[in-house]
Amino acid sequence: MRWIKKSIWRRRVVWALAAVFAVAGSGRSSGPIGAKAVAQATPRPVAAAAAPTAPGTRFVVVLDAAHGGDDPGGRLNGQSEEAFTLAMGVRLRSLLAARGIQVVTTRESDSTVDLVRRAEMANHANAQVCLSLHGTESGSGVHLYVSNLAPAQPARIAPWKTAQAAWVTRSLALAGTLNSALLQAGMTVTLGRTSLPGVDSMTCPAVAVELAPERAPGKKVTAELDDPGYQARAAEALAAALVEWRGEAPQP
Amino acid sequence: MIPRYQTVLFVVLLVASAAMGVALWQLRERAHQRLLSSQDSTPTQAPEVAPAEPATIYVANDTDGSLLAQVQQLPLPKDPGARARAVLGKLLDLYAAPDAGHPVPGGANSIAQVFLMQAENLDGATGKGGSGGVSSPTQSPATTDPMQMGPELAIVNLTGAFAAGHPSGIETETLTVMSICGTLHATLPRVTEVRFLVDGQLRATLAGHADLTRTYLATEAMPTEGAR
């Protein structure tokens, strides 16, 4: 009889421990996504969309220098897109830091960072601005692209691939602020909507900024992408726009 | 000494076998000709040239990021899939022209196939951002009542060479995708959703930016954005 009671008692202890681990596991899955979770199935919920930042809190900007490592991106007048975006990111980070803005970068060197990891870093930063920096030889001036997801109400749990939907309205407002600043700096700006895998998963006002050579009306290039003056003008205008954006209430 | 009647018999048999051999050879030749004639692919009728009709094509321009509707007179086949391929071929021919406002190499040969299928049959495969597979293509128009057909999903199979040669950039890739979606919807209004394959396979992006894993709504391509 005693050994039967002992085995029942042991079984209860095992079940209790299993229940504790199960509760801990479910609690983790509803929180911000960890790096290990990212390596699993791709359509996953994200909880940060439901956490609008209160006014008066720290102002964080995420700079995502696109491509890098195994993904060099396009070829831009002899240099790779990955090198160009990194250079632009460093330039913009310096300008923002000088204005007292906290900056989080998704990469600091020529390293491979996948799109899921980039979005995860942006979401963990709880940023008020997420800029994805790109470069291209096509078109003219600066292209500002916002996710083309339909605007949605913030939910406690948002699908990973469409997490940006709750922030699209704010992203469009941010694109408007960037547009004004770039136009003031005398740059040509094209606004558009698109579907970008990394940006669509970000839970912050997010805009993809793509810099192209500046062209005269006859398509003649007046400023190349590797022109330091042109890069500086674009970076200054973006920094000025973000300073202006800081003055607005960062609500989704 | 061989008897005479045996010699005569031998000669008669020899002549008979030679005659039978010749007859058999002729029969074989006739059968061969008959077989060849049944497999003959030489057209017996002149190909029917479809009359030119107006087709709306959404042409992209990199300079201002716009899509401009152009009406072209094109001989379009009756079959919807072939019709879709013909207009998209014209669109990509415009992009491959030397003075194109949206230069993309490749031309009409860059469209491998266009499949059309009923959108409602694809539950679970056409969700936004989904990467589900595709079911069988729609039945031919001869066996389907066009009046009863609902919204359709177009699957555009691009060649790998087109994707490899496409310029890299958010704007240029987005414009290519949007112009294909808009042109398909303008030609075949029942096409409400568009998916892309490259060499028959799902591909993450066109040339590093535009997402090709999702289903595009054809109406998204209407040029409401892109203002300077």
- Domain positions in chain A are 2-30, 45-246
Between strands A60-65 and A102-105, the pairing is parallel
Report yes or no on B196 lying in a domain.
yes
* Residue A236 vs residues A90, A186, A226: alpha-carbon distances, Å: 12, 12, 16
With a cut of 50, say whether residue B143 has pLDDT above it.
no
How many C-beta neighbours within 10 Å does residue B32 have? Answer: 10
How far lies A131's CA from each of A242, B108, B228, in Å?
A: 10, 36, 20
Distance CA(A199)–CA(A192), nearest Å, equals 14
Q: Measure the CA–CA gap between A165 and A126, rounded to whole angstroms.
A: 16
User: CA-nearest residue of chain A to B99?
Assistant: A219
* pLDDT(B64) > 90: no
Place of tokens 């391929």: B85
Chain B residue numbers with beta carbons less than 8 Å from the beta carbon of A220 are none
Q: β-pairing, B191-198 with B216-217? A: antiparallel
Report the number of distinct structural domains present in chain B.
1
CA of A74, closest CA in chain B: separation in Å?
5
pLDDT digits (tens, 9 = 90+) for A116-169: 999 999 999 999 999 999 999 999 999 999 999 999 998 888 899 899 999 999
Using only C-alpha atoms, chain B has a radius of gyration, in whole angstroms, of 29
| Distance (Å) of CA A160 to CA A64, A155, B215 | 18, 12, 16
Residues of A in contact with B207 (CB under 8 A): 74
Q: Which residue of A has its CA nearest to B172?
A: A138
Shortest Cα–Cα distance, A174 to chain B (Å): 16
**B173 in Cβ contact with B162 (< 8 Å):** no
- The pLDDT assigned to A14 comes to 54
ipTM of the complex, rounded to two decimals = 0.76
DSSP 3-state of A105: strand
Q: Given CB atoms, is B127 within the 8 Å cutoff of chain A?
A: no
User: Does B164 contact chain A (CB < 8 Å)?
Assistant: no
pLDDT at B94 over 90: yes
Examine residue B26 and state whether it is found in any structural domain, yes or no: no
- Averaged pLDDT of chain A: 82
Between B8 and B228, where is the model more confident? B8
Mean pLDDT throughout A65-87? 91
Name the residue in chain B with its Cα closest to that of A216: B63
Q: What is the three-class DSSP state of B185?
A: helix
Whether residue B6 lies inside any domain: the answer is: no
How far apart are the C-alpha atoms of B65 and B80, rounded to whole Å? 29
**Do A138 and B220 count as a contact with CB atoms less than 8 A apart?**
no
B17 occurs within a structural domain:
no
Which residue of chain B has the CA closest to A73?
A: B208
Whether A134 and B170 lie within 8 Å, measured CB to CB:
yes
Neighbours of B142 (CB within 10 A): 7
pLDDT for the residue A25:
39
Q: Which domain holds residue B133?
A: 52-221
Q: Which residues of A touch B216 (CB under 8 A)?
A: 195
- In 3-state terms, what secondary structure has residue A174? helix
Q: Is B167 on the interface with A (CB under 8 A)?
A: yes
**Contact between chains at B171 and A143 (C-beta distance less than 8 A):** yes
CA distances to A16, A26, A29, B121 from A22, rounded to whole Å, are 10, 6, 11, 38
Q: Chain A residues with CB-CB distance to B under 8 A?
A: 43, 67, 71, 73-75, 81, 134-140, 143, 145, 148-149, 159, 161-162, 188-197, 200, 208, 210, 212, 215, 219
Query: In angstroms, rounded to a whole number, what is the distance separating the alpha carbons of residues B90 and A91?
Result: 43
Residue B77 lies in a domain: yes
Give B62's strand partners. Answer: none
pLDDT score of A213 more than 50: yes
Query: What backbone torsions phi and psi does residue A105 show, to the nearest 5 degrees?
Result: -110, 150
Computed over its alpha carbons, how large is the radius of gyration of chain A?
22
CATH of A45-246, one of 1.20.59.10, 3.40.630.40, 3.20.20.70, 3.40.50.2300: 3.40.630.40
How many angstroms separate the CA of residue B67 from the nearest CA in chain A? Answer: 11
- Minimal Cβ distance to A139: which of B171, B204, B227: B171
pTM: 0.74
In this structure, which amino acid lies at residue A243?
Answer: V
Q: What is the DSSP code string of A199-225?
A: GGG--S-EEEEEE--EE-TTS-EEE-T
Name the nearest CA neighbour of A52 among A161, A121, A127, A113: A127
Query: Band of the pLDDT at A15, cuts 50, 70, 90?
Result: low
Strand partners, A76: A79
pLDDT surpasses 70 at A9: no
Would you say residue B41 lies in a domain? no
Place of tokens 């994707």: B163
Could you tell me which chain A residue has the CA closest to the CA of B214? A195
Nearest partner of A208 among A171, A165, A246, A233, judged by Cα: A171
* Window from A55-59, B57-61, B68-72, B88-92 with minimum mean pLDDT: A55-59
Kindly state the average pLDDT of the residues A8-25: 52
Nearest Cα of chain A lies from the Cα of B86 at a distance, in angstroms, of: 26
* Residue B70 within a domain: yes
3-state SS, residue A76? strand
Secondary structure of chain B in the HEC alphabet?
Answer: CCCHHHHHHHHHHHHHHHHHHHHHHHHHHHHHHHHHHHCCCCCCCCCCCCCEEEEEEEEEECCCCEEEEEEEEEECCCCHHHHHHHHHHHHHHHHHCCCCCCCCCCHHHHEEEEEEEEHHHHCCCCCCCCCCCCCCCCCCHHHCCHHHCCCEEEEEEECHHHHHHCCCCHHHHHHHHHHHHHHHHHHCCCEEEEEEEECCECCCECCCCCECCCCEEHHHHCCCCCCC
Q: How confident is the model at residue A13 (pLDDT cuts 50, 70, 90)?
A: low
Minimal CA separation from B163 to chain A, in Å: 13
